[in-house]
Amino acid sequence: MIETKREQEIVDELKEKFGQKIIETKVQKPRRVFVTIDSNSLIEVAEYLAHEKGFTHVSTISGLDLGKELGVIYHLIEESDLAITLSLRANIPKENPKLSTLVKVIPGSVLYEREVHELFGVIFTGHPDLSPLILPEKWPSGVYPLRKEWKVEDLKAKINRMRK
């Protein structure tokens, strides 16, 4: 029997404290927890995890194209000898992709948010500087290359035009 008691405890505590704001949880295996939350409660859940539960390290932020929605996953790591990696996901509509910045809670998320902003078009409200980080200077606005509607061929055509 694989031991996942501590992982289950964290999930139960989150459910108890935030109730309806926790949409989905999964304890996948030892040290791997996935939690989906209501996007409006991102900051309070992240603050609770960082300040009360020791999830102070944001390892990275992954963007995800889910069709009509965009998923933003914060991979948080606990301060512990055997640390749990908690992937905290917030889904936001593609039409209006806005999410509060996590920079005030965990300053290390500053570059990762810029990356997701650029490649998925998520706007992190309150972020100190969302200027281009990765894509070329003349990159057309509104083209978010990791969204599924942008096929490799379309992007190639865009880039070739940009070079001219």
Partner 1 sequence: MSESTYTVPIGPQHPALKEPENFTLTVDGEEIIDVKIRLGYVHRGGEKAFESRTYVQNMYLIERVCGICAMAHQLCYVNNIESMMEIEVPPRAHYIRTIVAELERIHSHLLWLGVAAHEIGFDTLFMYVWRDREISLDLMEEITGNRVLHAANTLGGVRRDLSTDIISKLRKGSKIIRERAEYYKKIGLTEKTILKRAAGVGILPYKDAVELCAVGPTTRASGVKKDVRKFDPYSAYDEIPFDLITYDSCDVAARIYVRVDETIESTKIIDYAISHLPSGPIGVKAPRSVPPGEGVSLLEAPRGEDIHYCKSNGTDKPERYKVRAPTLGNWASMARMLIGGYVADVPITLAAIDPCMSCTDRMTFVDANSDKTWTWSLERLRKHAKKFYGR
Q: State residue 52 phi and psi, 5-degree precision.
A: -100, -30
Give the number of other CB atoms < 10 A from CB of residue 25: 17
Give the shortest CB-73-to-partner 1 separation in angstroms. Answer: 7
**Distance of closest approach, residue 107 Cβ to partner 1, in angstroms:** 5
Residues whose CB is less than 8 angstroms from the CB of residue 10 and which lie 6 or more positions away in sequence, other chains included: 33, 53, 84, 86
Per-residue contact string for residues 6-45; x = within reach of partner 1 by CB under 8 A? ----------------------xx-xx-x-----------
Site for partner 1 contains 115 (CB under 8 A): yes
Please give the residues from 45 up to 104 whose contact with partner 1 meets the rule CB under 8 A. Answer: 56-60, 62-65, 73, 75, 77, 80-83, 85, 87
Rounded to whole angstroms, how far apart are CA atoms 43 and 56? 13
Q: Which two tokens stand for residue 27?
A: 């304890």
Does residue number 1 form part of the binding site for partner 1 (CB under 8 A)? no
Interface with partner 1 by CB under 8 A: which range of 12-20, 39-47, 93-101, 154-162?
154-162
Which letter does DSSP use for residue 85 in this model? E
